[in-house]
Chains A and B, each alone.
Chain A
Amino acid sequence: MNSKTQNKVAIGGLYGIAGFVVLILLALLGFILVSGVPQLSWHFLTAPGKAFLKGGGVGVQLFNSFYLLILAMLISFPIALGAAIYLYEYAKDNWLTTTIRTAIEILSSLPSVVVGLFGFLFFVVKLHLGFSILSGAFALTFFNLPLLTRSIEDSLRTISDVQREGGLALGLSRWETVSRVILPAAVPSILTGVILSAGRVFGEAAALIYTAGQSAPALNFADWNPFNISSPLNPMRPAETLAVHIWKINSEGIMPDAKAISSGSSAVLVIAILLFNFAARYLGKRLYKRLTSA
């Protein structure tokens, strides 16, 4: 076989593999959407669930998913940002930073069910937070923190060192250079990372089953006092999310239309995550364009 034919075979093989991957993805998405989208309706998206009867919705679960996501992001983003800035902009290479980096690596490869069980023992039991949104948010923070830290660190790495030198040579302090030059320049890429990790958090189930709980008490959407138990904002109430809901219906759902609800929920979840991904690309590109070109 001469090198030209070899080249053709190699390219053909790579196309084949890539095509196969795309095909699997499309088949999966297609299956979920085709079986799920017909179940979707305004009622389905907003109504509370029913335990034994037909016609329940996922309104509460959908709200819980977003609320948990926002809380988890509020907790994890500042910590991840601080950690990433420290690690990339300030830390020297020594045993301490090597240890921190290794810890982050290990934390990021921890199975999420282990994170969930740790969250159960520590937040739910030890700290008496119970099955609550707060416990779930903390567990998600543990799950999210290493991924987000690494993604922000990577964003900082994309900003060239000549920018740092430029800032310092202008008589800015290290912190001014980081906060006023490097961070604004890194915003588009940081934002993309945040939204992508939001997608992962949104779809997370295992870490939440034992922390945020598996029940979704009906909420009174007219009551926004976070101290009332039926208020949507109450962080101490148990809160089943969409992903947990899917798992639960499929393992022990006893409503007659369990199959349909599961398909519909899956479609909502997949659509939401797709939206996150598209939003990340769109916003990242747009912000970058606005910051860099005329």
Chain B
Amino acid sequence: MKEEILTTQDLHLYYGDKEALKGINLNFDEKGITALIGPSGCGKSTYLRTLNRMNDLIPNVTITGTIKFKGSDLYAPNADTVQIRKEIGMVFQQPNPFPFSIYDNVIYGLRIAGEKDKEKLDAVVEKSLRQAAVWDEVKDHLHESALALSGGQQQRVCIARVLAVSPEIILLDEPTSALDPVSSSQIEATLLNLRHDYTIIIVTHNLQQASRIADRTAFFMNGELIEVDQTKNIFMNPANKQTEDYISGRFG
């Protein structure tokens, strides 16, 4: 029996008066990939962003319910968002490397945390870039600007940047939707490499992607969690009619 690393209970989220999440109960085991799928506006990205409190940045958002990371309440009054986001990293839809060198991008979190040991930083850069499966492509250009890379490479550098602060959970918000198919499949391969070491939660519009990489898949619609199960079951034998309609392309 695996440990549950992240649990959400009766999670409601309101943008002003509009209820965007209507009582989500969803738990995540340690390690492995969970995909969140569903039609646009179903709340899957909103849900993802509650998990490392990125919704805090948006005014007028109210959240009720409980999210616990390793047993401690993420929304407790004394919760430290900075620490939370170190342990629960996030990769965005649009690759967003900082306008600095590849090397600096990867070690940014560590350097700001005060790490100065050059050898250690070098080691972290290599390890993270290798884990993100982009090392071979960038190892000769580490001190050139990350903005000169292709979109797919930038996204993998962004993944490496998150890995470098050694989080336990990695959230990915449609990480391949701005990329071409070749880059997308490289990102997928990267994630498959990481699934044994990290808990990965990925929002995706691409059903094939979910079926290719996810161990578990959760289907969202209209702010509700309709169904969550092993990916195989969701795609081959969904319990819910709405899931089946969505999977078979009848809407969405």
Q: Which residues of B contact A173 (CB under 8 A)?
A: 82
As a 0/1 sequence over residues 170 to 196 of chain A, the CB contacts with chain B under 8 angstroms (1 = contact) are: 111100100011001100000000000
Q: Report A147-202 residues with CB < 8 Å from chain B CB.
A: 160, 162-173, 176, 180-181, 184-185
Q: A169-B52, A170-B109 are in contact. Are A294 and B144 (CB under 8 A)?
A: yes
Scan B82-122; emit 1 where CB is below 8 A from any A CB, else 0: 11111101101010111110000000110010000000000
Size of interface on A: residues with Cβ below 8 Å to B: 23
Which residues of chain B are near A293, meaning CB under 8 Å? Answer: 145, 147-148
Q: Tell me how far the C-beta of B114 lies from the nearest C-beta in chain A, rounded to whole angstroms.
A: 11
Query: Contact between A162 and B112 (Cβ–Cβ < 8 Å)?
Result: no
- Which chain B residue lies CB-closest to A179? B112
Most buried by A among B85, B112, B162: B112
A292: interface (CB < 8 Å) = yes
* Bound form: Cα–Cα A180–B107 in Å: 12
Find out whether the CB atom of B59 lies under 8 angstroms from the CB atom of A170: no
Give the number of chain B interface residues (Cβ < 8 Å): 31
Q: Total A-B pairs in contact (CB under 8 Å)?
A: 75
Contact A180 B108 (CB under 8 A): yes
Q: Binary interface profile of B, 108-150, with partner A (CB < 8 Å = 1, else 0)?
A: 1100100000000000000000000000000001001101100
A43 interfacial contact with B, CB 8 Å:
no
B194: A residues at CB distance < 8 A: none
Q: Is B141 touching A172 in the complex (CB atoms < 8 A)?
A: no
A285 at the interface (CB under 8 A from B): no
B86, chain A: closest CB distance, angstroms: 3
Asked if B161 is at the interface (CB within 8 A of a chain A CB), the reply is yes
A291 within 8 A of B: yes
Bound CA span A169–B98, Å: 13
Q: How far is the CB of B134 from chain A (nearest CB, A)?
A: 16
Interface residues of chain B, those whose CB is within 8 Å of chain A, are 52, 54, 57, 59, 82-87, 89-90, 92, 94, 96-100, 108-109, 112, 141, 144-145, 147-148, 158, 161-162, 165
Ordered nearest first, which 6 A-B pairs have the shortest CB separation? A171-B86, A294-B148, A169-B90, A162-B96, A294-B144, A166-B96
